[in-house]
Amino acid sequence: MTINLTMAVLMACLYSAGFYLIMQRSLMRVLLGIVILGHGANLFLQVAGGPPGDPAFIGFGVLTSMVDPLPQAMALTAIVITFALTTFLLALAYRSWVLLGDDEVRDDLEDRRVRDSEEDADLAPEEEASR
């Protein structure tokens, strides 16, 4: 079984666009990135499932013409996971919009303070050794 070049290019475009959007600071762009990645995963699973064939019933049809039902089951699972992440990110974006007036993810000042104090602690022994 070989993969169609068109499907490979389409999956590459979906994954690259999805990862690009996930790296943004706006929650709506992150949400769109998750949705696009979900579509890319579903397309990947359907392409990995192979061409259409006979249903996988025991005792009917030729064994070599039957289709593996696992990719379809995994695609349904991917749809459910994408839907759950979509609703969660919509709730986060709505809450951010209500509280802050925008959906941009800001830096946490406490995390920055902890990081700076850890860097200062790491530099302290080196400074003492150079004295």
Cα-to-chain-centroid distance, residue 21: 10
Nearest to 58 by CA among 69, 50, 47: 69
**Residue 126 to residue 115: CA distance in whole angstroms:** 18
Q: What is the pLDDT of residue 22?
A: 93
11: exposed, middle or buried (Cβ count in 10 Å: 0-12, 13-18, 19+): middle
Distance set, CA 109 to CA 46, 100, 112 (Å): 44, 16, 5
List all residues 6 or more positions away from 60 whose beta carbon is below 8 Å from its beta carbon: 54
List all residues 6 or more positions away from 63 whose beta carbon is below 8 Å from its beta carbon: none
0.75 cut: is pTM over it?
no
Q: Name the token pair of 108.
A: 């946490």
Q: What is the dihedral of CA 95, 98, 102, 105, to 10 degrees?
A: -30
Q: What is the pLDDT of residue 113?
A: 86
DSSP helix, strand, coil percent of the chain (3-state; round to 5): 75, 5, 25
pLDDT in tens, the chain (131 residues): 567 889 889 999 999 999 999 999 888 999 999 999 999 999 998 888 877 777 777 666 676 777 778 888 899 999 999 999 999 999 988 998 898 888 888 777 888 888 888 777 776 665 555 65
Residue with tokens 């949705």: 35
Q: What is the pLDDT of residue 129?
A: 57
Q: What domains can be seen in the chain, in order of their start residue? A: 5-130 (1.10.287.3510)
Q: What is the pLDDT of residue 131?
A: 55
Longest dimension (CA), the chain: 83
